[in-house]
């Protein structure tokens, strides 16, 4: 087959079913099961030009064995499971779905802020176990309104969080090595500061950066020590951006007040992970970008990119990886 667009995912997975349902009539669409033996997968992918990865990954060696591949399309914003420079050396474009993921993740990040500040999980537990409000009120509850929120990384997700927080009357600051246009800063009513200043002045620190060598472990003991003792830490990007042992120590010692994380260093994490059992930490299972709307947006965008590549144009949302 020529001009074949393949979704790489389990055939009975709801996302795979949605991918098939939304596939437009003008592309030659197929599904390849990642659980099949490699030789069988390689044969099925031999004519594939656009490969849409539904949360899974192929090795660079496997990608190199696909002679007709032109575009590796990620359904995610993150790209740490793909050796992007190596794949691009093969002449294959790599694009992600960051703008499509951003609304869902920004919503989840703010939800974590509210859950932590309002101690919603202890409140739910108290309502269920009969202690009613005593469990939640055993420690102070706080409002998000009027607090200083520091956003580390003002990309698609970070900028949407800033936009959403305008309604909470928060003072917004951000740290980002990139030059953000002044018109964007004015529109979001946000001020750029050095990373160290952001840590020192923020009541809430929320991180939205890609995982690479420069961000791995950036939130370590030194970073947590630099934060206010009353501050809360939010991570919805990638677990290894924070040093988990240092985060646990900071929460236990009171160096920071609380945390809300959608990601941890190893996923799924062991049930013995201390973060799961801390009264001042909310953990969700890497679900921030899992809304039905996000999946649909990412699929439709992927098909648009497929059309662009098949007619000889360059795809949108190409990844320019940091090192």
- List pLDDT tens digits, range 68-90: 999 999 999 999 999 999 999 99
Question: What confidence score (pLDDT) does residue 288 get?
Answer: 97
Q: Are 153 and 207 in contact (CB under 8 A)?
A: yes
Q: What is the dihedral of CA 221, 222, 225, 227, to 10 degrees?
A: -110
Q: Are 234 and 242 in contact (CB under 8 A)?
A: no
CA 99 remoteness from chain centre: 11
Question: What confidence score (pLDDT) does residue 166 get?
Answer: 96
Question: What confidence score (pLDDT) does residue 323 get?
Answer: 54
174-178, 188-192, 237-241, 318-322, range with the lowest pLDDT: 318-322
What domains lie within the chain, and their CATH numbers?
A: 4-99+291-310 (3.40.50.720), 101-283 (3.40.50.720)
Residue 225 has pLDDT above 70, yes or no: yes
Question: What confidence score (pLDDT) does residue 1 get?
Answer: 45
Query: Could you say which of 41, 119, 147, 286 is catalytic?
Result: 286
pLDDT digits (tens, 9 = 90+) for 121-167: 999 999 999 999 998 899 999 999 999 999 999 999 999 999 999 99
Query: Could you say which of 119, 238, 242, 294 is catalytic?
Result: 238
Asked about 286 being catalytic, the answer comes back as yes
Reduced to 3 states, what is the DSSP secondary structure of residue 158? helix
Who wins on pLDDT, 2 or 269? 269
Asked about 238 being catalytic, the answer comes back as yes
Q: Compute the mean pLDDT over every residue in the chain, rounded to the nearest whole number.
A: 96
pTM for the complete prediction? 0.95
Instruction: Please report, rounded to a whole number, the percentage of residues in the chain having pLDDT higher than 90.
Output: 95
Query: Could you say which of 267, 277, 292, 293 is catalytic?
Result: 267
Contacts of 17 (CB under 8 A, 6+ apart): none
From 169, 209, 177, select the one nearest 193 (Cα to Cα). Answer: 177
Burial 110-122 (b: 16+ CB within 10 A, else e): bbbbebbbebbbb
Asked about 40 being catalytic, the answer comes back as no
């Amino acid at each position: 087959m020529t001009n074949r667009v393949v979704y790489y995912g389990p055939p009975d997975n709801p996302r795979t079913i949605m991918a098939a349902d939304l596939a437009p009539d003008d592309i030659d669409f197929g599904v390849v099961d990642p659980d099949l033996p490699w030789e069988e997968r390689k044969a099925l992918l031999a004519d594939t030009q656009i490969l849409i990865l539904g949360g899974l990954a192929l090795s660079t060696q496997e990608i190199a064995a696909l002679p007709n591949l032109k575009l590796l399309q990620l359904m995610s914003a993150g790209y740490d499971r793909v050796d992007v420079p190596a794949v691009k050396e093969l002449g294959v474009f790599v694009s992600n779905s960051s703008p499509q993921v951003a609304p869902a993740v920004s919503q989840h990040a703010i939800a974590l802020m509210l859950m932590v500040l309002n101690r919603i999980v202890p409140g739910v537990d108290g309502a269920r176990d009969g202690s009613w409000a005593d469990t939640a009120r055993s420690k102070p509850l706080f409002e998000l309104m009027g607090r200083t929120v520091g956003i580390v990384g003002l990309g698609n997700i970070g900028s949407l969080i800033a936009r959403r927080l305008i309604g909470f009357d928060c003072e917004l600051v951000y740290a980002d090595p990139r030059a953000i246009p002044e018109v964007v800063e004015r529109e979001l009513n946000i001020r750029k500061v050095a990373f160290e200043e952001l840590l020192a002045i923020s009541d809430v620190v929320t991180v939205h950066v890609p995982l690479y060598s420069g961000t791995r472990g950036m939130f370590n003991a030194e970073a947590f020590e630099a934060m206010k003792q009353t501050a809360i830490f939010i991570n919805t990007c990638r677990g290894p951006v924070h040093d988990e042992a240092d985060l646990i120590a900071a929460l236990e010692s009171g160096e920071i007040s609380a945390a809300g994380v959608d990601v941890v260093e190893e996923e799924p994490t062991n049930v013995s992970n201390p973060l799961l059992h801390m009264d001042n930490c909310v953990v969700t299972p890497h679900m921030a970008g899992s809304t039905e709307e996000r999946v649909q947006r990412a699929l439709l965008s992927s098909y648009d990119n497929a059309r662009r590549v098949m007619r000889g144009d360059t795809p949108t949302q190409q990844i320019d990886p940091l090192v």
